[in-house]
Amino acid sequence: MKPRFRDRQEAGEVLATKLGAYAGRDDVIVLALPRGGVPVAFEVARALGAPLDVFTVRKLGVPGHEELGFGAIATGGVRVLDHDFVGRLGLPAGLIERITARERRELERREHVYRGDRPAPVLTGKTVIVVDDGLATGSTMRAAVQALRALGPAQIVVAVPTGARETCDVLRPLVDVLVCAAMPEPFHAVGLQYDDFRPTTDQEVCRLLAAAGPFGVAA
């Protein structure tokens, strides 16, 4: 199956065309899930003329197969576990806690690198557009949505360039709006939808957040 997008930049440009209803509104903020969601969200924020910030989430990966997520954690102490998957794998509680602690340390490191002393954005009453580079299992996005709900936004919009249809169907009732530009079938992996899916670096995240200045950075 031919990839849908050249890279994350093109994916963001395509996704932005699906979000025109949110352009030019002063109640909208775009939040990227780092790291891969940041280049996508940058293009969305630029097209909409909206502030850009990050919302840090970490996948909890199966040891030896870290790309398989059995859950995720997010800013604010939220943890989401796929209990059915955990049960099928027979993962011991102690192992889950050790993986959670390790990923929490990385989450805190990234928060410091990306945000420094800049406070997290105030989301109360805002329309929050949460962007990632794709939805596979959806555990990372579910953690983000659960954490964001506690911050009082008026509306949560999940926007991704590509995703598994079944994952989108599960996630849709949990948010106000879900926008997915492409849901190929069969869906095997997010990376297969991109010609260039090289990892996004911390340096690139920081560069894009800094470059967002002309069209607004959340404060």
pLDDT tens-place string over residues 41-60: 999 999 999 999 999 988 88
pLDDT score of 213: 67
pLDDT score of 136: 92
Average pLDDT, stretch 115-130? 90
pLDDT tens-place string over residues 95-119: 999 999 999 999 999 988 998 888 8
Task: Using the predicted structure, report yes or no on whether residue 4 has a pLDDT greater than 70.
Answer: yes
pLDDT tens-place string over residues 148-167: 988 899 999 999 999 999 99
Quick one: 201 exposed, middle or buried, by C-beta within 10 A (0-12, 13-18, 19+)? exposed
Average pLDDT, stretch 75-94? 89
DSSP state string for 46-111: HHHT--EEE--EEEEEETTEEEEEEEEEETTTEEEE-HHHHHHHT--HHHHHHHHHHHHHHHHHHH
Task: Using the predicted structure, report yes or no on whether residue 73 has a pLDDT greater than 90.
Answer: no
Banded pLDDT at 219 (limits 50, 70, 90): very low
Average pLDDT, stretch 170-188? 95
Task: Using the predicted structure, report yes or no on whether residue 216 has a pLDDT greater than 60.
Answer: no
pLDDT score of 214: 55
Q: Which domains does the chain have, with CATH numbers?
A: 8-57+118-215 (3.40.50.2020)
